[in-house]
Structure 1
C-alpha cells in the first residue's frame, strides 16, 4: 500500500510538471545581443500604468509597470529610480494600455478519463492568442514638458493548461501563473520590448545631468558614479538654477532659468558617487546642476 501511495504521489508530481511545462510561454522577442553600453546612463522613473477595467484594471496596470521597469534595467542604458527618489530622475515614463484582447483567437482540447479521472476533474489544454497595445509619454521632470510620445503593440500565442484542472486528492490547483506567464502578459512584454528603443530615442531630447551633493576647495561631490558609467577625466559644465517659470493658470512648469558658472573635471569614481575638481569658475554649491559638455 505504501508503494502504491508513493507511486501515486510521483504520478501527481509528474503531472504537475507536465502541465507547468505546457503553460510555459515563449519568451518575448528581445533586442539583438550588443556590447555593454558605455555611454552615460540617464536616470528615469516609471509611473504606474493607466489601465481601465475594460483592459484588465489594476492587475494589468501593476503587471505592465513591473515589466517596463525590468525591461529598462535589462537594457543597460538607464538607471531606474523608484520610491522617494523618483522625483530626482531626469525623465518619467507614463504608460497607458490602449488595447487589450486576452483571447483574440484560439482552440481547446479536453481529456476525459485516465489522467483526467486521476486528477479528479477534466484535464485539458487550449491554444490562445493575446494582443496588447500601449501608449507611452516621456516627460522631462525639470520642465514638466512631454518630450516624446510613442506606441507599440505586442502579441503572443501559447498553449496553456485548462484553468479548471484541479487535483482533488491533495487539494492543490495545477497551472496557476502570474501575470507575466499569461498570454496577455507575454503580449504586454512583447509591446514593451518594442517600446524600449523608442524611449531611448526620446531620452536624446533630455540632457544628461547630475547634481552637486557637496563641494569645497578639496573637491566637488556628484550624485553619479560607476552606476551611471561616469569615468575619470569627464568634464561637466556647472549650472545654477534660477527662477522657475510657471503657467499662472495651470501651475505647469514652463522653464527653469539656468546660469552657467563654471566647469569641473571628474578625478575619481565610486559606485554611486564621483569626486571632481574645479577647472573653471567658482566652487559649486549643493544643488547645482552638472551637464555633460
Structure 2
C-alpha cells in the first residue's frame, strides 16, 4: 500500500509540473502600454465540416472569437457582419424621416471601418466516446477523461484595404488540453472565455475554445508585420491633428514619424505590392480624444503638410 501511495504522489507532482509548464507556454501576453490598436471585424465562421449538434458551431465560434479579441486588449473590435448590417438598417430607417431626429439618432457615414478582417473555415470535427487514458498502477488510475473531441479550422487575417490575406494558419483544437490564458486576466479566464451561451460545456465546446485560443495567439504574433498608419487631417501653426485616438490606443507622449508615402504598384496587375515612406518630421502626442489626437512638432515642422502619413517612431 505504501508503494501505491508513493507512486500516486510522484505522479501528481509530475502532473502539476507539466501543467505549470503548459500554462506558461499557453499564456497570451498583454499588449505593451504604448501598443497601438487595429480595428478588426470577425466574419461568421463557415461550417465546412457539416457538423451538427445542440449548438450552431459556426455562430458559436464567431461569438467566442469576438469575445477573445475584445478581452485580449490588442484590438478595437467591431460588431460582426450581422451586427453591422443591423446598424445600417437603423441608419436607413432614421433617414426616412419617420424617427425623431436628435444628436443620438443613427446617422450615415459614422461607422468605424475595419482595418483587418478575420475569417475562419471549420474543416473537420471529430467526437469519440469514452476514453480511459491516464495511467493505471495496481488498480489506481490517474488522469484520463470520458470522451474527447477535436476541431480543425483554418484562420485567415485579411487586409480590408487590399483584400489580401496577410496571414493564415491551420489550427487543431482538442478537448482536455490546457486552454490558453490572457496574460493579465489570470486563472479566472482559463480557456479564455467559456462563454458558449452560458450552457454546460461539452467536449466539442472545449475543443473549439482550445482552437480559438491558439488562433488568437497566432494573430497577436502577426501584428509586428502589419504597418500601423494614420494621417494628418489638420495642420495649423504648432497644432497637428491626426485621425487616430484612444480607440486605436494612442496615448499622450507617443512619438510619430511624419512623411510622404509612395505606393509600389505592380504595373501588370495594378496591385499595391508595398509602401515606401520618406520621413520628413517627427511629432509628439500632447492631447488625445476618442478618434483624433493632437501632436506637437519635434522636428521638420516646415515640411509637414495635411494629408501626410504618420507611423510610430521606432
Offset from partner CA, 1:211-242 (integer Å, 9 cap, x none):
33433225222333334442322211123444
Q: Separation in 1 of the partners of 2:218 and 2:212?
A: 10
Q: Separation in 2 of the partners of 1:189 and 1:237?
A: 39
Matched, 1:51 2:78: no
From 165, 171, 175, give the equivalent of 1:156. Answer: 175
**Counterpart secondary structure, 2:63:** helix
1:248 to 1:64, Cα distance in 2 relative to 1, 3 A: farther
5+ long unaligned stretches in structure 2? 1-22, 85-110, 132-145, 177-195
| Alignment match, 1:78 | 75
Offset from partner CA, 1:101-155 (integer Å, 9 cap, x none):
2x33249xxxxxxxxxxxxxxxxxxx65332122122234455443332232223
| Alignment match, 2:155 | 136
Matched, 1:100 2:125: yes
Q: Is the 8 A contact 1:145 1:254 kept in 2?
A: no
Q: Separation in 2 of the partners of 1:181 and 1:212?
A: 50
Q: Separation in 2 of the partners of 1:145 and 1:35?
A: 27
| Alignment match, 1:226 | 246
Tell me the TM-score normalised to structure 1 length.
Answer: 0.62
Q: Is the 8 A contact 1:48 1:95 kept in 2?
A: yes
**Counterpart secondary structure, 1:39:** coil
Q: Separation in 1 of the partners of 2:161 and 2:259?
A: 13
| Alignment match, 1:3 | none
**Counterpart secondary structure, 2:310:** strand
**Counterpart secondary structure, 2:175:** strand
In terms of Rg, which structure is larger?
A: 1
Matched, 1:38 2:33: yes
Offset from partner CA, 1:17-46 (integer Å, 9 cap, x none):
xxxxxxxxxxxx895486674131331422
Q: Separation in 1 of the partners of 2:205 and 2:113?
A: 25
Q: Separation in 1 of the partners of 2:263 and 2:49?
A: 42
Q: Is the 8 A contact 1:137 1:146 kept in 2?
A: yes
5+ long unaligned stretches in structure 1? 1-28, 108-126, 158-176
Tell me the TM-score normalised to structure 2 length.
Answer: 0.58
More strand by share: 1
Tell me by how many angstroms 1:56 deviates.
5.0
Tell me by how many angstroms 1:292 deviates.
0.7
**Counterpart secondary structure, 1:236:** strand
| Alignment match, 2:265 | 245
Q: Separation in 2 of the partners of 1:223 and 1:43?
A: 13
1:283 to 1:36, Cα distance in 2 relative to 1, 3 A: closer
Matched, 1:268 2:265: no
Q: Separation in 1 of the partners of 2:118 and 2:266?
A: 22
**Counterpart secondary structure, 2:50:** helix
**Counterpart secondary structure, 1:72:** helix
Q: Is the 8 A contact 1:210 1:290 kept in 2?
A: yes
